[in-house]
Amino acid sequence: MTDRYAVFGHPVAHSKSPLIHAAFAEQTGQALTYTAIEAPADDFAGAWQRFAAGGGRGANVTVPFKGEAYALSETVSHRARQARAVNTLIVGGNGRLYGDNTDGIGLARDLAYHGVGLKGKRVLVIGAGGAVRGVLAPLLGEAPREIVIANRTAAKADALAEAFGAAGRISGGGFEAIRGAFDVVINGSSASLSGDMPPLPDGLFAENATAYDMMYGAEPTVFLRWAQARGAHAVDGLGMLVEQAAEAFFLWRSVRPETEAVRAMLRRTLADG
């Protein structure tokens, strides 16, 4: 019997995960199926339980269910506990549900792929929601000189910085509190989804700085266009999507797929519309 996997979201029809995991399965010779399941907004647990009862072995979880997946998991990884969110569910050999979070390692690997090192660098992270919380521990693990979190609601950024304060030098505040230039600026807010631009000051980028948006599309986001106009190197989040998926695939199948060809395939898909 072919093992079944899926991505759960609401909405989820736009998800590239089925394309990615089909490519990984073909590349590695793994017999599995992977589909997109739109769970009811108020019944993720029921949707997962129906899938598992039908033989589902694991799943990716996207907005807005990562917190519910965390609560549903019987055991969670250290990185999921830090993020308080699960984006990868695994049914163990004993039938217990294990939750992990591969978003942070996906971002760290994509930055490395693009030659962006964080050691000793000054890093600005925009946003203080779940997407940012999920990546802070891996970012701090790269030993940056400092991470500053900026958010429209300063108290949320302050609270997030306090939660991760033991892992490195990190502070939070509102956009008006941003001071000085940064080597790496990461947009983890939802602004790009609606085409909005965070209220960032000019003079934000140090020489040879990188601007990274966790969102991606056929064209650069408004944040990346703004950054390019100010001399920054722009990177979107397509590679993060592929790398977090590769880590999930490894957790399920104990085989690590190559990501280069899948990155290229996805970029072509976006360009073709």
DSSP class of residue 175 equals G
Place of tokens 């163990």: 92
Maximum separation of any 2 CA atoms in the chain, in Å:
58
Task: Please report the pLDDT score of residue 171 as a whole number.
Answer: 97
Please check if 195 is assigned to a binding site. no
Please check if 128 is assigned to a binding site. yes
Q: Which residues contact 215 (CB under 8 A, 6 or more apart)?
A: 187, 192, 193, 221, 236, 237
Please check if 60 is assigned to a binding site. no
Please check if 171 is assigned to a binding site. no
Judged against a pLDDT cut of 80, whether residue 42 lies above it is answered with: yes
Q: What is the pLDDT of residues 132-168, one digit of tens each?
A: 999 999 999 999 999 999 999 999 999 999 999 998 9
* Rounded Cα gap, residues 133 and 14, in angstroms: 24
Known catalytic residue at 66? yes
Q: Is residue 60 a contact partner of residue 7, using CB atoms and an 8 Å limit? A: yes
Q: How many CB atoms lie within 10 A of CB 59?
A: 29
Nearest to 128, CA basis, from 84, 169, 89:
84
What is the pTM for the complete model shown?
0.94
Tell me which of 66, 79, 109, 253 is the catalytic residue: 66
Give the C-alpha distances (Å, rounded to integers) separating 131 from 34, 64, 179, 260. 24, 11, 23, 24
Please check if 202 is assigned to a binding site. no
**Percent of the chain scored above 90 by pLDDT?**
91
**Neighbouring-strand partners of residue 187:** 126, 213
Q: What is the pLDDT of residues 218-262, one digit of tens each?
A: 999 999 999 999 999 999 999 999 999 999 999 999 999 999 999
* Rounded Cα gap, residues 228 and 219, in angstroms: 13
Q: What is the pLDDT of residues 67-112, one digit of tens each?
A: 999 999 999 999 999 999 999 999 998 889 999 999 999 999 999 9
